[in-house]
Chain A
């Protein structure tokens, strides 16, 4: 809301291809690190815009990527045909470093159709391939029962209960990842919001207008240190 002098204070501006090259290259490198061994993507078209604040910048990029077929027979599991992806990336540049804040990629034709309902989720750089413990679903069912009792949840149908339980399980996995990446002393886990998808939670409880910060400009208080 406040002045236009720092984070999010300036409006989005169109950016030249030259300006977008480095953040796009950074996003591509990060994307490639997540691909299977032997596979890689190359940059196609790049367009986007930039927001500046202080010494930092936020780039919002629309990029096409060409995923090249895996050519190394030592690492290729299946022959894969070349495909084109349309990706939305958000890359920040602060203190001399780039960081990929959001990534949302899909095949170019389906992506075009879905673009109006674009959803993107923050990156969680943990492997999803870790095997789950054998008693995982038993433990999760027991935890879900605790959740329903603690927060007095009722669901209208068996199908809804099943659906909410699957969301709950995904959320517990997500909470575990957030826990693993937290550098403080916080504990994450079951809360009264544990049966909501991220999209539901954002829509119901959060405030997207704050991200845009186009409110009334206020007078800045000057800090005077007291000797």
Chain B
């Protein structure tokens, strides 16, 4: 892996979104990944619809939570994703109003990625932002800087929040992952969370995945 990488600087990441009072982080994590994959394969950065997944992914539980792996399947089954403009976010479960005619993006497959953080960094630099899930310990009160909670306090066994890895690097020799969250820009560092890299902090390495666009 290169020593640092940031997909935001390369135009592969849309603006920080806000899931509102709804446990739909899984949908934001997956659309963020698909936005990056589509940009890298097709050259267009499109802001994609989370509400389509909240309403139409019947395996997941809308605002009660969901899993990225199921969301990829739902995108394949539905036939793709509409854009944010065409199917905008309301933050609560509605009747599915997906229209195949409005699909702008499709995916062909999805893959699970390595649990080795060095390999994850290499994959990210080569292939784009990664959907991950972490233990959100401390995030309720996080303001800025690189978070590195004690291991027993932020165990990989209690994964409860899906987010998007968009880059990595070092700040004053402290290695970090740059993580796009979905709690708006008035949280964290303009909506981003920085987590220690290389120690499996908060289970950052245990649930990494990506869509595949051919």
Q: Which residues of A contact B114 (CB under 8 A)?
A: 221, 223
Asked, given contacts A2-B207, A192-B186, A223-B114, whether A92 binds B155 with beta carbons under 8 Å apart, the answer is yes
Within 8 Å of chain B (Cβ to Cβ): is A189?
yes
- Docked Cα-Cα span, A188 to B193, in Å, equals 12
The reply to whether A196 and B149 form a contact with Cβ atoms under 8 Å apart is no
Within 8 Å of chain B (Cβ to Cβ): is A185?
yes
- Docked Cα-Cα span, A71 to B158, in Å, equals 39
- Between A and B, 30 residue pairs with Cβ closer than 8 Å are A1-B209, A2-B112, A8-B156, A8-B206, A99-B151, A101-B155, A122-B153, A171-B141, A174-B141, A182-B149, A183-B196, A184-B147, A185-B146, A187-B145, A192-B184, A204-B21, A204-B22, A204-B23, A205-B23, A205-B25, A207-B25, A207-B133, A209-B65, A210-B26, A216-B59, A216-B73, A218-B111, A219-B112, A220-B112, A221-B114
- Docked Cα-Cα span, A207 to B115, in Å, equals 21
Within 8 Å of chain B (Cβ to Cβ): is A3?
yes
The reply to whether A1 and B70 form a contact with Cβ atoms under 8 Å apart is yes
Which stretch in B6-14, B45-53, B93-101, B116-124 binds the other chain?
B116-124
Q: Which residues of A contact B109 (CB under 8 A)?
A: 219
Which stretch in B32-40, B81-89, B159-167 binds the other chain?
B159-167
- Which chain A residues (64-108) contact chain B, with CB distance < 8 Å? 90, 92, 99-101
Asked, given contacts A174-B141, A213-B67, whether A218 binds B72 with beta carbons under 8 Å apart, the answer is yes
Within 8 Å of chain B (Cβ to Cβ): is A6?
yes
Within 8 Å of chain A (Cβ to Cβ): is B19?
yes
- Which chain A residues (165-220) contact chain B, with CB distance < 8 Å? 171, 174-175, 178, 181-194, 196, 198, 201-211, 213-220
Q: Would you give the shortest CB distance from B161 to chain A, in whole angstroms?
A: 5
Chain A residues in the interface with B (C-beta under 8 A):
1-3, 6-8, 51, 58, 90, 92, 99-101, 122-124, 151, 171, 174-175, 178, 181-194, 196, 198, 201-211, 213-221, 223
Within 8 Å of chain A (Cβ to Cβ): is B106?
no
Asked, given contacts A99-B155, A188-B138, A189-B141, whether A215 binds B70 with beta carbons under 8 Å apart, the answer is yes
Q: Would you give the shortest CB distance from A66 to chain B, in whole angstroms?
A: 26
**B187 contact from A175, A191, A223, Cβ within 8 A:** A191
- Docked Cα-Cα span, A24 to B147, in Å, equals 31
- Docked Cα-Cα span, A205 to B136, in Å, equals 10
- Docked Cα-Cα span, A190 to B172, in Å, equals 25
Asked, given contacts A186-B194, A218-B209, whether A210 binds B67 with beta carbons under 8 Å apart, the answer is yes
Asked, given contacts A92-B155, A187-B145, A209-B65, whether A181 binds B150 with beta carbons under 8 Å apart, the answer is yes
Question: Nearest residue in B to A226 (C-beta to C-beta)?
Answer: B122
The reply to whether A201 and B65 form a contact with Cβ atoms under 8 Å apart is no
The reply to whether B23 and A213 form a contact with Cβ atoms under 8 Å apart is no
Q: Which residues of A contact B156 (CB under 8 A)?
A: 7-8
- Which chain B residues (141-190) contact chain A, with CB distance < 8 Å? 141-153, 155-162, 171-172, 174, 183-184, 186-187
